């Protein structure tokens, strides 16, 4: 049972490290803390599986540790997927002004039928006459 003590202590320290990492509010730091906790908890579960019978570890304790490990891995996956996702693109000036939705000039229309020049009047462009 002396060998499991350091494993349990390491898992407890990694759990406390998550609280410190969460205080930084930096996703990569929190993700790494969850990875470390999952690794430490995995070692405890492995030890309980291998040496639980000879150490007198009740089956309920092993079942509880497996459940904890599953929850830690689930949360780790969500946190790390969020950290790995690219940040949403900030709106550009044209998005903010709403000009990105204006249709572009149709290049299929011949040049002499295009409208909208500075010199256009109600009767057409006087420079084309």
Does residue 21 surpass a pLDDT of 80?
yes
Q: Specify the DSSP class assigned to residue 20.
A: H
Residue 108, burial from CB neighbour count under 10 angstroms (0-12, 13-18, 19+): exposed
Could you state, in order of their start, the residue ranges of all structural domains in the chain? 4-84
Task: Using CB atoms within 10 Å of the CB of residue 65, give its burial: 0 to 12 exposed, 13 to 18 middle, 19+ buried.
Answer: buried
| Confidence at residue 42, expressed as pLDDT on a 0 to 100 scale | 92
Full-model pTM? 0.61
Task: Compute the mean pLDDT over every residue in the chain, rounded to the nearest whole number.
Answer: 80
Residue predicted with more confidence, 68 or 52: 68
Q: Give the pLDDT confidence score for residue 129 in this predicted structure.
A: 60
pLDDT number for residue 39: 93
pLDDT digits (tens, 9 = 90+) for 61-108: 889 999 999 999 999 898 888 767 777 788 787 777 777 665 555 556
């Amino acid at each position: 049972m002396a060998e499991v003590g350091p494993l349990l202590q390491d898992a407890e320290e990694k759990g406390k490290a998550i609280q410190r990492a969460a205080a930084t509010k930096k996703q990569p730091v929190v993700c790494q803390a969850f990875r470390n906790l999952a690794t430490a908890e995995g070692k405890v579960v492995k030890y309980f599986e291998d040496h639980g019978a000879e150490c007198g570890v009740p089956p309920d304790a092993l079942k509880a540790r497996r459940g904890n490990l599953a929850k830690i891995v689930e949360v780790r996956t969500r946190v790390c997927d969020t950290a790995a996702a690219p940040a949403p693109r900030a709106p550009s000036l044209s998005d903010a002004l709403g000009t990105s939705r204006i249709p572009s000039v149709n290049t299929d229309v011949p040049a002499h039928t295009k409208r909208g020049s500075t010199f256009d009047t109600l009767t057409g462009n006087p420079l084309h006459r």
